[in-house]
Amino acid sequence: MSDKSTVAGWALGLVAAFAVGAKAGQQGELPVAEGPFRPTMQSLAQYRCPQWFRDAKFGIWAHWGPQAVPMDGDGYAHDIYCEGSGHYQHLLAHYGHPSRFGYKDIVALWKAEKWDPDRLMGLYKKAGARYFVSMGCHYDNFDLWNSQHHRWNAVAVGPKRDVVGDWQKAARKYGLPFGVSEHMGAKECWVQTSRGADLKGPLAGVPYDCMDPKLADLYGVLPAAENQGWQGKFPRWQVEWFRRMAELVDSYHPDLFYSDGSPMFDNDNDPGRSLIAYFYNRDLARCGRVEVVYTCKHPSRGCWVEDFERGQAAAIDPYPWQTDTSIADWFYNRNWKYRSTRWVVHVLVDVVSKNGNLLLNVVLRADGTLDAEVERMLAELAAWNAVNGEAIYGTRPWLFFGEGKVRAQGGQFHEDAAYTADDIRFTTKGKTLYAIALGWPADGRLLIRSLARPAHAGGNAIATVSLLGYQGRLDWKQTTDGLLVTLPAEKPCDYTCTLKITGTALAPARAP
């Protein structure tokens, strides 16, 4: 049998595995659940972001699953089937060829044998997290909960534990709102490269293990001609996606639901918006009000919370939003260096000043433990929040977000900025204004230009200025150049300098 005919034979078997019941998988009206929300933008515009999310500001995420096993980073389940890629070469070196050893075998190696969600949740809460999010399912199509619709789940295979359920119990114990994330809407397109074989080498033409029809429920089916693009147009998969996501909502009642992308399958059939309406209606029926948050990477107009991956809004958005990022690679990667605590703090302050929240992935090893360096970072965040938390939690933006030369570029995948003490961000709580300098001035003098004394009397009148973490009095004066503050010789914390300011008619006297 030729190489091409070998692959073709496997492909025909795979198609046959899905022939039965294909007609039943066509998209029909999805069960939105009884309630006022329907899968239209007009109906979803009734939504109002709950107070708990607006006050929380900082969440921690466990972007964790079988892809942590090789310690080679994100995208492993995909790239091991991309001949010549780095992950493909890693698989060959450590496990074998993908025709013989594939992602199904990586899944079986994930044991999470040292995972203690209760201990970890205690560390996260102490570090300042006000909500927690568990991975539900990545593009690898492996459910981390006790799924009744999918045999490839963490209770049946791998850890033999309900990962989502155990995270939920720990979060509830520590009083943290609990969220789940799903990334599998694009699975059918994401795995297309796996449906083939090497083009060269000693095993050229030998089908990858993905081509085995017995594994079709993990790896997926051959793509239809129209199944192109990130999410594709594949009705059977869309119905399965909705069924599994509805189970996740009904079984675990998450306070937050994160979809990686735009509303899944945002097309004429509306399965993505149907899931949002289902989520809202279910919470309304259960709690008597909608207290949940749905977040995805699409402008929301207030219908949900817009999320920016490794990026953020460029300025204050009137609608609450979220940044999601990681202290390193998304999955454990022995070759990546961790972000500094300074970087995490500066991202948090900048995001909060613009009406956003920060969801931070704290990278776990496959066994469920944290590197010592990560535990130190959490302790440093706890120390910083003990001093500065009142300028973060429960705050709202001021009339503009800040001043200084360094501005974060808006949008996805723009998150690196070298801030200094000249870059100042503002938050408010009631009649109190907080000015947070992203550093400590070398000369011990902090000038806030936007709080200059205005030319007319009565406006922007400052009454008191104090420094969070410092009990003594500060020397300060308000001039036509700005509010000039002489700081104490000893810093109360690292990374920032936070002033607490009261007065009347506080408003920018000068454009930032």
Q: Tokens in use for 250?
A: 């009904």
Radius of gyration over alpha carbons of the chain, in Å?
25
Position with higher pLDDT, 397 vs 240: 397
Handedness of CA 36, 37, 39, 45 (dihedral sign): positive
Question: What's the rounded mean pLDDT across residues 160-186?
Answer: 95
* Predicted confidence (pLDDT) per residue in 304-341, tens digit: 999 999 999 999 999 999 999 999 999 999 999 999 99
By CB atoms closer than 10 A (0-12, 13-18, 19+), residue 379 is: middle
- Cα 465-470-476 angle, rounded to 5 deg: 30
Reported residue count of the chain is 512
By CB atoms closer than 10 A (0-12, 13-18, 19+), residue 337 is: exposed
Work out the pLDDT band at 189, boundaries 50, 70, 90.
confident
* Predicted confidence (pLDDT) per residue in 419-461, tens digit: 999 999 999 999 999 999 999 999 999 999 999 988 666 678 8
* Predicted confidence (pLDDT) per residue in 344-365, tens digit: 999 999 999 999 999 999 999 9
Domains, in order of start, for the chain:
3-309 (3.20.20.80), 419-504 (2.60.40.1180)
Mean pLDDT of all residues belonging to the chain = 89
